[in-house]
Structure formats: C-alpha cells, structure tokens
Amino acid sequence: MKASLIEQEEMRLALLRGYNILDTAPEDGFEEITKLAAEICDVPISLISLVDEDRQWFKAKVGIEIPGSTIENSICAHAISGDDYLEIGDTSKDARTDTNEFVTGDDSIRFYAGALLEDGNNLPLGTLCVLDKKPRELNDFQRRALQTLANQAMRQIELRKALADAEILRKEVDHRVKNSLQSLEALIRLQVRSEKSAEARAALDAVQGRLATISRLHEALYLTDTGASVNISPFITKVVQSAQEQMPHGVTVNSKLENCNLTSRSASSVGMIVNEAMANASKYAYQDRRRGTFSVTGKHEGGFYHLSCIDDGPGLPDGYSNDTGLGMRILMAAAQQLGGEMTSPARDIGTEIKVVWQVEP
C-alpha cells in the first residue's frame, strides 16, 4: 500500500533537497547513530532513511546492503504521513505493509519502528528506523532512545548544512577580498604613472608591492581551501610558486617542508615571511646576477618548527642589524605573530632568514 502524501508535501520535498544530502557519501556521524540504534533496540537492521518524491534513500544503514527502494515499498513513507513515531509489531498483519515487497519477499521484514527526522517547523525528511525479521515490540526505554537518536541525526543534518553554507559564504568573501585588492593595486599603478616626484613614486611602488604580497598570500590560502586549519607544506609551495615571478629568470627556487598544521592566521604569517624573504633576496642577493639558488626548508625538531629561507648571494653587509629596513621589520613582526623568533645565522655564503616557533603536539 502506497503511503498518502502530507499536506505540505511540496514544501517538505523542497526542504529535503535544500539540505543537499541525498546521494552523498557515508559519514561516520550518521553511521554511528544507526549502529547505536540497532544495538539499543536489539535488532539486526537500522536505517537513516530520507523519503524523496519517488524513492527512499538510506544515508546510513546497518544490516542491509541496498542503497534504498521505491516509494511504493517504503514503510518510512507511512511514518512521515502520521505522527512523530510509528511502530508496527507485525508488518504481515498491517494493511499499510502486508503487500510490501520487503514483507512478502525474501527479506521477510516483520517488525518496523521509526522516529521522524523533523526540522524546526515539524516537516519530516525521513526517519531513523529499526527493523527485524520477526514480530516484536520495543519497550518504553527503546522507544525514547530511538526518538532521541533521531533528534541527534537531525542535528547532524542541520550542522552539515550550516557548515556547507558557511563554506559558501567564506568563498564569496574570499572572492570579494581578492577583487578589492586587485582594484586597489590598479589604482596605485595609475597614481604612480601620474606622480612626478621620484620619491613619491618609490613610496607608491613599495605600497603596491606590499599589496601584491597580501594578494598572493590571500590567493594561496584560498586555493589551499582547508578551512580553519592549514597545512603549510602545500600552502607555502603555492606561495613560492607565486612569488617566484619576482626572482630573476636564472634563479632556481627550491622548497622542501615537513607538514605542519596551523590556523589560517598563523599560516598567513608564515607565507608573509617566505614572500618577504624572497622579495629581499630578489632585490639584494640577486640584483645584477643571472644565476642563483634560493631554498625554503621546514622541519620539526624537539617540539619546534624550524623554517629557513636561504639565498646564495653576497651575504649581509657589515654592520647590518635586524631592525634595518622595512622588509626586516615585516619579517620580525610576522615571526612575533607566530609566537616565534627570527634570526639571521652566520653563513660562509649567502644569507639565511630563520624563524623557529613552538608547535602543538
């Protein structure tokens, strides 16, 4: 017997499809709920069943292999057209299910209990249900537990949608920030062309360079696309690839970094360090040179992460200090944001910018 439609069926279907959960891959949170429901109710089969227009689809399942069934064979469709809980002690003796193929066929489903998955307006998406191959009934504790687990499954569905919506919003903000930075760079370039003072042009060029740096870092973070936690190995690889454009053509840039997860803010500081070190090397180490090698390395040592940016140029001039120049001040500020320390270890050849910070276990 096919279930009757609810009064708000079109709205219910729009709600279900708006969650973008149909035909998605298995997820641990839903699988754990079905396993717990089967164990508490002492049944061989448990399902999170979402009822679409012409089918039911199982987001999670225990004791059954099929991904779903037609709406004609959906007992859950009867559940969503009634109260918030449906229990059928013997499906072969109930007019709603006695001709169901799961009941009359080889599966021989004889017992069904389902608690609705409802949104805040009491529109049902489907059920968390348990099934058995023999007639039976649940006790009061099992019924309460099934309804509680159904509520938890619905919270999982809502949380899943909220995270997806937040990700869409983040990408939209990223896109707008990128466009704003590009527009600001263009305006500064126009101002540079119209500026007669060489000193003013140099200052505007420096501002434009910093904006380009921020734009590259933002783009690299956006392409990494890992949300709040960023693995700096692939992230810095993207930063290096982007910043390499400012190096002379004959300079080779190598990067080799061990994995390290940081917040996006901390990862941005690391990106600023690498980008600024490359900019300084391009300006001082490789000026008027056609060949060279710039290396970026990162590794874990004793609870700390060691990041080094090394050029093979002429080295730091005599009397040089870390508070000299805007570039070095930017490097030091970025290191402080990491809670780390920046040094320039002495080398026989070239210059090394080294930043060390403590990492979480």
Each residue's pLDDT tens digit, 16-31: 999 999 999 999 999 9
Average pLDDT, stretch 119-128? 91
Asked whether residue 320 carries a pLDDT value surpassing 60, the answer given is no
Give which of 278, 267, 206 is closest to 243, Cα–Cα: 278
Determine the pLDDT at residue 281.
Answer: 86
Residues of the chain with pLDDT > 90, as a percent, come to: 46
User: Do 128 and 37 form a contact (C-beta atoms < 8 A)?
Assistant: yes
Residue 141 confidence class, pLDDT cut points 50, 70, 90? very high
Phi-psi region of 263 (alpha: psi -120 to 50; beta: other; left: phi over 0): beta
Q: How far apart are CA 269 and CA 355, in angstroms?
A: 11
pLDDT per position as a tens digit, 149-185: 999 999 999 999 988 887 777 677 767 777 777 788 7
Q: Name the pTM for this structure.
A: 0.58
What angle is formed at CA 65 by the lines to CA 60 and CA 69, rounded to 5 degrees? 80
Asked whether residue 99 carries a pLDDT value surpassing 80, the answer given is yes
pLDDT per position as a tens digit, 178-226: 777 778 878 887 887 878 787 787 677 667 666 766 676 666 666 555 5
Average pLDDT, stretch 129-135? 96
Q: Based on the number of CB atoms within 10 Å of its own CB, is 348 exposed (0-12), middle (13-18) or buried (19 or more)?
A: exposed
The residues of the chain that CATH labels 3.30.565.10 are 226-358
**Residue 162 contacts by C-beta under 8 Å, 6 or more apart in sequence?**
none
Question: Which CATH code of 1.10.3720.10, 3.30.70.100, 3.30.565.10, 2.30.30.90 fits the domain covering 226-358?
Answer: 3.30.565.10
Q: Which two tokens stand for residue 180?
A: 């704003």
Q: Which CATH superfamily is domain 9-162 in?
A: GAF domain (3.30.450.40)
User: Do 63 and 44 form a contact (C-beta atoms < 8 A)?
Assistant: yes
Determine the pLDDT at residue 34.
Answer: 97
Q: Based on the number of CB atoms within 10 Å of its own CB, is 190 exposed (0-12), middle (13-18) or buried (19 or more)?
A: exposed
The amino acid at 251:
V
β-strands 55-62, 68-70: how paired?
Answer: antiparallel
Within 173-221, strands assigned E span none
Q: How far apart are CA 57 and CA 47, in angstroms?
A: 9
Determine the pLDDT at residue 4.
Answer: 63
Asked whether residue 267 carries a pLDDT value surpassing 90, the answer given is no
Asked whether residue 69 carries a pLDDT value surpassing 90, the answer given is yes
How high is the mean pLDDT of the chain?
85
Determine the pLDDT at residue 346.
Answer: 86
What would the DSSP string read from start to end of 94-150? -TTTTT-HHHHSTT---EEEEEEEE-TT--EEEEEEEEESS-----HHHHHHHHHHH
The residues of the chain that CATH labels 3.30.450.40 are 9-162
Determine the pLDDT at residue 280.
Answer: 82
Average pLDDT, stretch 97-120? 92
